[in-house]
């Protein structure tokens, strides 16, 4: 509808150009907004206001000229000038109800569009280090990234989702040490477990697996393991323990412990996310990049273009030449590539796989990382704009009015699993996705629990269940609601029906806007308002207990409503239940 209006008005503007009212070279984009208030009609445009200055006429006079130049359109019943020069358009009510048929025809495809034109997009999100379970902070990124993927797919993009597994580097070493020390405790050794190793209970479970499978095979005397490592700096102590693990376990043993820990943690994360209704097309291993020499190749690509130099025994990428605030190390003095180096390789890999657009969802604490990543793409002759980084602000967690720490090492965080089990996946996802991603978020656990019954998600789901219930009632009471396709929609026209159908027809715009701006929260807000329109209608009118022709029209309308509720909920990964 919006588009039809734009075409009509574009025609009017073209006529004014021919008549010399507007300069032929004048750039004009007619934009329509839905009127916020009923007395302003259905749609409004400010085109006369924005063009008034350029053509030297008062806005209201220009508005009249545009209206006079408008081609005939049966769907428009009235056009009027309002305020300083807005043009308000009033549509014929019966033409608006046609969307009911369109929705029922399109089914689950209603609201989808072709904006993406099949362009390939890869969305990387969560990508939490596999050193412990996901906590509620990760939940926000998961809910956001997954909803965004659904949204972009609905907008005609070819979407692939990926989880980048940081299975290389020091954190993995700390994991090995943590597991090994707990294992040694299980063997009966006296160990002073370091405060800065991973404290969580899940480390015991992994250690128990090692012990169960290999008994005392990796056992060494506690005195030997812990010799000479007291009294130093805590991080240095950890380094010493890592070295000790390497020498005492040997390469094979070390890799084994690492593998057990990594497998257990990634499997845990994966099942956790699946129960959160989030699944990834691929889990991409950082380690594989290093072992397959992709990291070397990426550094080579930078070097080939002359952007790598040596200093202090390390290799540096001259990212400052591309807008970064300083240069960055890619190969350490000890010969090991940095995390940044593998990340460059990872992004190069994504580009080489043919993705037009790379979307990274990062926690806000990584924002300083963006300039160097973009710099790397440019240095390898790629357009940096192909990388879109979306920052998700932190969720500050409160319990009983006090801020809760979310440190993985301390093991004191609230896990996503706990949240899910307490409030449920649907409520949690809706709660997360309601906030736009760049908004700071206060997540009060007590509140989330106590209000879970008040969560708007139930309001929306209830609307869906209620409609399903109407259909069940009809079947039970043998009320005829067949041939909805043949319903005479012109029988509709109550104020509540007009409000409802208006909201229904808005859905495609909401999807397009939400996808274009990467804002899933718009869908959540839309759904609330759609559910509100339905509940209001439900309370004011009877569907089944009216004469058959009107019944058929009304049931067709609520069937379309059910469809849009289901489509919208699907976009944010929330179930649309038949009953609650």
Partner RNA sequence: GCGCCCAUAGCUCAGCUGGAUAGAGCGUUGGCCUCCGGAGCCAAAGGUCAGAGGUUCGAAUCCUCUUGGGCGCGCCA
CB of 370 to RNA, least distance (A): 8
Q: How far is the CB of 387 from RNA (least distance, A)?
A: 15
Report the DSSP beta bridge partners of residue 88. Answer: 44, 80
Q: Is 338 in the site for RNA (CB under 7 A)?
A: yes
| DSSP result, 448-488 | HHHTGGG-HHHHHHHHHHHHHHHHHHHHHTT-----GGG--
Q: How far is the CB of 261 from RNA (least distance, A)?
A: 14
Determine the Cα angle at 358 with ends 343 and 169, to 5°: 15
Question: Cβ 171 to RNA, closest distance in Å?
Answer: 5
Nearer to RNA by Cβ, of 209 and 240: the residue is 240
Q: How far apart are CA 135 and CA 123, in angstroms?
A: 21
Residue 100 tokens, joined = 């009911």
Binding mask 24-63 for RNA (x = CB under 7 A): -------x-xxxxx-xx---x-x--xx--x-----x----
- Least separation in angstroms between residue 119's CB and RNA is 18
Chain positions 203 to 262 lying near RNA, rule: CB under 7 A, are none
Nearest distance in Å: CB 215, RNA: 32
- Footprint on residues 357-396 left by RNA (CB under 7 A): 364-369, 391, 393-394, 396
Give the shortest CB-216-to-RNA separation in angstroms: 31
297 binding RNA? (CB under 7 A):
no
> What's the DSSP call for residue 380?
T
Dihedrals φ, ψ of 76, to 5°? -95, 125
- Nearer to RNA by Cβ, of 156 and 169: the residue is 169
- Count of CB atoms situated within 10 Å of the CB of 43: 20
Q: What is the phi/psi pair of residue 331, to 5°?
A: -125, 125
Kind of pairing between the strands at 43-45 and 86-91? antiparallel
State which residue, 187 or 203, has the beta carbon closest to RNA.
Answer: 203
- Supply the minimum distance, in Å, between the C-beta of residue 62 and RNA: 12
Q: How far apart are CA 154 and CA 115, in angstroms?
A: 9
Least distance in angstroms from the C-beta of 487 to RNA: 15
- In what side-by-side order are the strands of the sheet with 282-285? 282-285, 158-165, 120-124, 357-363, 387-392
Least separation in angstroms between residue 103's CB and RNA is 20
Three-class HEC string of 526-541: HHHHHHHHHHHHHHHC
Strand order in the sheet with 32-34: 32-34, 43-45, 86-91, 76-82
Q: How far is the CB of 324 from RNA (least distance, A)?
A: 10
**How far apart (Å, rounded) are the C-alpha atoms in residues 203 and 201?**
5
Nearest to 10 by CA among 66, 87, 75, 86: 66
Minimum distance from CB of 221 to RNA (Å)? 30
Answer whether 274's CB lies under 8 Å from 206's CB.
Answer: no
328 touches RNA by CB under 7 A: yes
Point out which span in 140-148, 208-216, 348-356, 455-463 binds RNA (CB under 7 A).
Answer: 455-463
Rounded Cα distance, 497 and 510, in Å: 20
Closest CA to 150 of 449, 482, 515, 418: 515
| Residues whose CB is less than 8 angstroms from the CB of residue 279 and which lie 6 or more positions away in sequence, other chains included | 161, 273
Of 231 and 545, CB closest to RNA:
545
- Does residue 311 interact with RNA by CB under 7 A? yes
Asked if 401 interacts with RNA (CB under 7 A), we say: no
Site for RNA in 484-523 (CB under 7 A): 513, 516-517, 519, 521-522
Site membership for RNA, residue 304 (CB under 7 A): no
Q: Using CB under 7 A, which of 473, 475, 495, 549 touches RNA?
A: 473
Of 225 and 514, which CB lies nearer to RNA in the complex structure? 514
> Which 135-194 positions form the footprint of RNA (CB under 7 A)?
166, 168-171
Q: Interface with RNA includes 320 (CB under 7 A)?
A: no
In angstroms, the CA 314 to CA 329 distance is 7
Site size with RNA, rule: CB under 7 A: 94
Interaction of residue 548 with RNA, rule CB under 7 A: no
Q: Which is nearer to RNA, 208 or 406 (CB)?
A: 406
Q: How far apart are CA 418 and CA 319, in angstroms?
A: 42
For residues 84-113, which are near RNA according to CB under 7 A?
84, 86, 88
> What mask, x for binding RNA by CB under 7 A, covers residues 425 to 454?
---------xxx-xxxxx-x------x-xx
Q: Near RNA by CB under 7 A, which window of 18-26, 241-249, 294-302, 468-476?
A: 468-476
Q: How many angstroms separate the Cα of 524 from the Cα of each of 122, 445, 462, 528, 570?
A: 23, 21, 14, 6, 11
Max CA distance (Å), the chain: 96
- Binds RNA (CB under 7 A): choice among 150, 374, 466, 552: 466
- Contact segment (CB under 7 A) with RNA among 207-215, 267-275, 334-342, 352-360 equals 334-342
Using rule CB under 7 A, residue 340 touches RNA: yes
């Amino acid at each position: 509808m919006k588009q039809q209006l734009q075409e009509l008005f574009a025609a009017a503007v073209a006529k004014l150009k021919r008549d010399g009212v507007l300069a032929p070279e004048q750039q004009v984009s007619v934009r329509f907004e839905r009127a916020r208030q009923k007395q302003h009609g259905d749609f409004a445009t400010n085109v006369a206001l924005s063009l008034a200055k350029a053509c030297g006429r008062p806005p209201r006079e220009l508005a009249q000229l545009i209206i006079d130049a408008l081609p005939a359109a049966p769907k428009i019943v009235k056009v009027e000038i309002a305020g300083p020069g807005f043009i308000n358009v009033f549509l014929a009510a019966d033409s608006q109800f046609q969307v009911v048929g369109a929705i029922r025809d399109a089914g689950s495809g209603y609201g989808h569009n072709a904006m993406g034109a099949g362009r390939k997009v890869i969305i990387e999100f969560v990508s939490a280090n596999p050193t412990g379970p996901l906590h509620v902070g990760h939940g926000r990124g998961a809910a956001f990234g997954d909803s965004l993927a659904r949204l972009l797919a609905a907008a005609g993009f070819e979407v692939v989702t990926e989880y980048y597994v940081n299975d290389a580097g020091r954190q993995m070493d700390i994991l090995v040490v943590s597991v090994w020390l707990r294992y040694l405790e299980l063997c009966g050794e006296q160990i002073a477990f370091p405060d800065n190793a991973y404290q969580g209970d899940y480390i015991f479970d992994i250690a128990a697996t090692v012990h169960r499978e290999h008994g005392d095979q990796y056992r060494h005397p506690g005195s030997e393991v812990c010799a000479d490592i007291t009294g130093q700096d805590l991080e240095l102590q950890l380094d010493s323990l890592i070295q000790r693990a390497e020498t005492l376990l040997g390469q094979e043993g070390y890799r084994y412990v690492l593998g057990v820990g990594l497998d257990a943690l990634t499997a845990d994360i994966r099942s956790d996310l699946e129960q959160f209704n989030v699944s990834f097309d691929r889990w991409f291993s950082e380690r594989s990049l290093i072992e397959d020499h992709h990291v070397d190749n990426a550094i080579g690509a930078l070097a080939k273009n002359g952007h790598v130099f040596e200093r202090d025994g390390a290799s540096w990428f001259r990212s400052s030449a591309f807008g970064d605030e300083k240069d960055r190390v890619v190969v350490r003095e000890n010969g090991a590539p940095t995390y940044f180096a593998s990340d460059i390789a990872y992004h190069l890999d994504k580009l080489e796989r043919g993705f037009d657009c790379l979307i990274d969802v990062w926690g806000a604490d990584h924002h300083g990382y963006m300039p160097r990543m973009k710099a790397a793409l440019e240095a390898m002759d790629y357009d940096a704009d192909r990388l879109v980084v979306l920052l998700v602000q932190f969720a500050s967690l409160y319990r009983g009015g006090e801020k809760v720490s979310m440190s993985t090492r301390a093991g004191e965080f609230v896990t996503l699993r706990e949240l899910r089990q307490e409030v449920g996946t649907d409520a949690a996802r809706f709660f997360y996705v309601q906030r736009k991603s760049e908004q700071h978020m206060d997540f009060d656990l007590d509140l989330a629990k106590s209000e879970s019954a008040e969560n708007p998600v139930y309001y929306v789901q209830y609307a869906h269940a209620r409609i399903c219930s109407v259909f069940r009632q009809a079947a039970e009471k043998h009320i005829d609601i067949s041939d909805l396709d043949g319903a005479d929609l012109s029988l509709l026209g109550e104020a509540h029906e007009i409000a409802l159908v208006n909201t229904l027809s808005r859905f495609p715009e909401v999807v397009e806007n939400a996808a274009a701006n990467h804002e899933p929260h718009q869908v959540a807000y839309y759904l609330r308002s759609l559910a509100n329109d339905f509940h209001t209608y439900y309370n004011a009118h009877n569907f089944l207990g009216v004469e058959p022709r009107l019944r058929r029209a009304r049931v067709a309308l609520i069937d379309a409503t059910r469809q849009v509720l289901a489509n919208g909920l699907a976009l944010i990964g929330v179930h649309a239940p038949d009953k609650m």
